[in-house]
Structure 1
């Protein structure tokens, strides 16, 4: 089994696509006005309109209601990413800081309130085998 994508359900696809395009530097693929994908070498972030939820079942997903998932993005330099993104960040959780498990990490929330972690391993050797947490 392979994880194909992580999908975020939102009431505003364009706003979230614009945000994650800035975070990842990846050009989105718009498969439909209600759906987009941002494909990276290691995974795909899908963004779907809340208008697609009824096709999956009544009330199975709710936009902007997540408080349990963290989206982790490995970046070359957390401090450079912070400097680049600072003008567009509206909800900074924590500025870059060194974590006890060996990462330098920046925490923010996307426009829907989902927690996003940008991280870089502190040890150059660990960059080949990054981990998001212990």
Structure 2
């Protein structure tokens, strides 16, 4: 059996991106030095890692602020309530709450590095 347990965003500014995710997720980041932060989301983790520190481990393997293909998806209890809460924050909105063909209601936004985030609620 295999489990995806962690997703990691490579960034040029761990502090700034972590502050954004603290507001959006309403979860306090756990910092491990200045170049690595973790958000515990359910049974999984979302990490924020400094590009320069990552370069020392795996040179040339990542570029910050260029994600054009992966969406971080968060299953929430009430997508419309989350949307109303987040409208109070300066957000780069991609799509307002909409019912999707696969049976969920979701909205999309971008973090400050341009990564796409989806909040969704399955329709019962």
Q: Normalising by structure 2, what TM-score?
A: 0.93
Structure (1/2) with the larger helix percentage: 1
SS in 1 for 2:66: coil
CA distance in 2, matches of 1:104, 1:120: 5
Structure 1 alignment gaps of length 5 or more? 124-134
CA distance in 1, matches of 2:11, 2:120: 24
Is the 8 Å Cα contact of residues 26 and 38 (structure 1) preserved in structure 2? yes
Structure 2 alignment gaps of length 5 or more? none
CA distance in 2, matches of 1:62, 1:23: 23
Point out 4+ residue stretches in structure 1 off by more than 2 angstroms. 1-4
| CA 1:102–1:89: 2 relative to 1, 3 Å | farther
Is the 8 Å Cα contact of residues 104 and 123 (structure 2) preserved in structure 1? yes
Alpha-carbon RMSD across the aligned residues, in angstroms, is 1.1
Is the 8 Å Cα contact of residues 5 and 43 (structure 2) preserved in structure 1? no
Q: Which residue of 1 aligns with 2:26?
A: 25
CA distance in 1, matches of 2:4, 2:32: 20
CA distance in 2, matches of 1:93, 1:9: 21
Report the count of equivalent residues: 123
